[in-house]
Chain A
Amino acid sequence: MANPATDRPTRGRHHTVQPRLRDRIVDRRKFLIYLGAGSTLTVATKLGLDVLAPGSASAVPTPSLPQPADLRDLGDILILSGKPTEALLFTVEVTEDGRVRAELPRMEVGQGLTTAVAMLVAEELDLQLDQVDMPLAPARPELLMNQLTGGSNSIRSVYGPVRAAAAAARTRLCEAAANRWGVAVDGLRTEAGRVVGADGRTAGYGELTRLAATLPIGELVTKPKSPSEFKLVGTPQQRVDARAMVTGAFKYTLDLDIKGATPAMVRRPPTINGTVEAVNNEDEVRAMPGVLDIAVIDTGVAVVAETFGQALDAKDALDVTWGAGTVDDVSDEDIFKKLRQATVPLVPPVSLPNQLDFEFDWAPINHAPMETNSAVADVRNGRAEIWGGMKSPIVAQQQIAKELGLPPGKVVCHVVQSGGSFGRRLFWDGPLEAARISKATGRVIKLMWSRIDDMRHGRARPAAHHRFRATIGPDTVLRLEHHTAFVETDWTHGLGEILTATSAELPAGNFGFAQTVFMLTVKSPYNFGVVEQVLNEVPLKMHTGAWRSVYSVSSRCGEEIVVDEVAAKLGKDPYEFRRAFLKTDAQRAVLDKVAKEGDWGRSMDDGFAQGIAFHEEYKSRTACLVEIDARDPHDPRVTKAVIAGDYGLPINPRGLKAQLLGGLTDAISVTLRAGLHIDKGLPLEGSYSQFHYARQVDSPTDVQIFILPGESEPGGAGELGVPAAAGAIANAYARATGIAPRSFPINFPVDFEPFPR
């Protein structure tokens, strides 16, 4: 696996083939239509047409107007913001050994992006997947707002540009062959890494690349394949890094062999954002075995040692006098009280006879990626070089430069593929802290956060309160009101560069950002008449951040519970009721698929039940049917899951199935058992023994996942799987136990002795 620090493929003589600004790409208009509009206007039109599609039940939907996220979602906005730099995104290199290399200006954290994008390149160039190298690009400030990995937007935003770049390379290789053979380019085609002439002559890309690069081609006439021509895209492919991962050869940040890099850890305060007032036993700790250096930094006291084991012992041995943090008096009770107060009241405050009211609480949840926050930093001699997981590397580079007092050009940020993110690595606090320690000690250091620190001082999706009111008429829903309040989600990564990041830091800037994201992501997929969704925020200075499916997990899970209870009130079957109130045939298709494959409605013993739910976002949609064994309501287990996903155009169905399975496991965790308790300014949970993310024993033994075929444009994939699965699990639990879930996770005792602060 290519890795920016250690094993960048050694290239012999090679030539770069890339579309130049003067190149004219035919079919540009189609390309722009995708980039600019993402077919949103079509969706809106479709909504209008499909609105009155007949349902199979006798329930009568009340048509709803499109919500903002129906017209233009967050992904569309991210694509638009990246539009000025789209032509710069990819450089496709064809080397003389016939391999193709393109750096990916997005981050791979397990979502299968390097595989899917390499598939797109291989497809356009008629190559085998293993002939494409796709290392992660370092921070590229010239991309402005076009180097952020988030919002389920990576495939959506690179689908057009990467195909255009690869198609341009293919066209140039054909031009080179035509030139060499003295024939017209029109009769040439490509196959298995070679240009093939009308008379059967062939030439490998490697032989042609030099000529292709030097030909005076002033105008490039090229056209990416249409989906109907795809041979590789749409077929299930194994991850390009799979072998490295099963052999232990794959290198994460702290596995990199960077000369002189020495282990460093940080002793952190007993409350979030606490400060160092004094280190009382520095000499004693400096004398401990293996300890090389100690430095006070903004976030605590850093210890540099020969091994991480010794750094850990030494940081634990430090006696530090701490100053107050930013939320020292804050505990769960206060947080949920504040959230209820901040939730915009429903009017009238007491529901009418035809109204159903619901309130839901959601505990905060740590991202908890397996690889804790980590980075390597070399800040010496007026320059800085940083290695680490960065999903917004441009703003990371800019902010680190600002902090170090260096010009941004003197800071290099290598993006290293990481062990999970789930939103966590949108923030660069690990790389920044590593830079601070390196600067303070004058050493090359590799920083590792302990798991306890990652749980307690890392980031989390913040706590939330939701209020729903469904106003029902005979056989219909006339109105759905959804008012929610979250503890403030930190959006100061902006769109990945310093302008939008700075504006998010301005007074009310983060609030505005949150409102925009909420409106562009949260929507009801149902014809529930007048739909009103309102977010308010409680500004507590805790470490928060977008967590996979951000506002949608709790918002949509809540709504799916509302749907089940409204259906029951109206005497309808939960599946038939959804079917009748969904807006489009595409939505009904995934729902029908799971109902059929999952044998919806089969009879089950006491304590067991099925649950079903639907979710749509970022131009993709999914339905999930689960079966639960909740004979012990305090120890339920999801035993089976049937999931269907429609992504418009599936690139790698295998990767998409993986994302849906991961979404299911996340949903099992956050719905049933995993969360953080905040107590006097710090989470109580400190490790996986206390933070109950699902394990094998919590996972179903029967999972069937179906990816629906399609030939439109790829929708978002990373976040889609969580909300529907969460809704299905909550509904199954309610049906199995008769207990209506209102607080999540459902089973959430403090069943452990917290670690010392």
Chain B
Amino acid sequence: MPSYSFTVNGRKVAVDAPADLPTLWALRDKLGVTGPKYGCGIDVCKACTSHLDGEAFNPCVTPVSEVEGREVTTIEGLADGDNLHPVQEAWLEQDVAQCGYCQPGQIMAAVALLNKTSKPTDDEIDEIENVCRCGTYFRIREAIKSAAEKM
């Protein structure tokens, strides 16, 4: 079985896996990185949203062979030790999470948006497709705007 080396949250890792194994399962089942969640497996719910070389990606549809040699950042790698990322701080201030299951993906999507656009408009926020079944969308919107102010 081939082995793939990449970086997860700053840590070098290697996994033995078939080339087409979705990165989500390499992370969760082989590396014990459980922040990214399974919600659909076909890149429509976006619960697994993480970053690949700083850009949002969905590990549920990205084969592990494609992340070889690259940098994966999951929700666990967003904070700097105990210092939360401003988006995480904004999430706490707005008390966004309810069941919380989609929130790692929501936060990573928001960070990716804010990395591209420092003051996102409502239309740009609307483009985030991550599903929140608890329906926290308005608080997510407020948290993104609040984080934009801080960043």
Contact = CB atoms under 8 A, between A and B. Distances in A.
Are A and B a genuine interacting pair, yes or no? Answer: yes
A387 B74 CA distance: 26
A372 B138 contact: no
Contacts of A695: 128-131, 137
B84 to A, nearest CB: 7
A105 B146 CA distance: 37
Interface residues of B, number: 62
Interface residues of A, number: 65
A624 interface: no
Contacts of A700: 138
Nearest to A755: B42
Nearest to B22: A309
Contacts of B47: 370
Nearest to A243: B92
B95 interface: yes
A110 B131 CA distance: 15
B138 A697 contact: no
Interface of A is mostly: loop
B13 interface: no
Contacts of B68: none
Contacts of A669: 135
Contacts of A48: none
Interface of B is mostly: loop
A370 B101 contact: yes
B8 interface: no
Interface in A252-302: 252, 254-255, 257, 263, 289-290
A696 B25 contact: no
A254 B47 CA distance: 14
Nearest to B89: A246
B77 to A, nearest CB: 9
Q: Which of A242, A306, A698 has the most CB of B within 10 A?
A: A242
Contact of A246 (B84, B122, B136): B84
Contact of B141 (A419, A422, A701): A701
B34 A251 contact: yes
B95 A239 contact: yes
Contacts of B138: 661, 699-701, 703
Nearest to B47: A370
A506 interface: no
B44 interface: yes
A241 B95 CA distance: 10
Contacts of A419: 37, 99-102
A687 interface: yes
A381 interface: no
B135 A662 contact: yes
B44 A689 contact: yes
Nearest to A371: B101
A358 interface: no
Contact of B38 (A448, A693, A697): A448
List the 6 shortest-distance A-B pairs measured between CB atoms, nearest first.
Answer: A665-B135, A419-B101, A110-B99, A248-B35, A248-B75, A245-B100
Interface of B: 1, 17-18, 21-22, 24-26, 28-30, 32, 34-42, 44-45, 47, 74-76, 78-79, 84, 88, 91-92, 95-104, 107, 122, 125-141
20 contacts: A109-B99, A239-B98, A241-B100, A246-B88, A246-B92, A247-B76, A247-B88, A248-B74, A307-B26, A370-B101, A370-B132, A419-B37, A420-B133, A663-B135, A665-B132, A666-B135, A687-B42, A688-B131, A696-B129, A699-B138
Given A246-B91, A307-B17, A371-B39, 9 more contacts: A245-B97, A247-B84, A248-B36, A310-B25, A420-B101, A451-B42, A658-B98, A661-B136, A665-B136
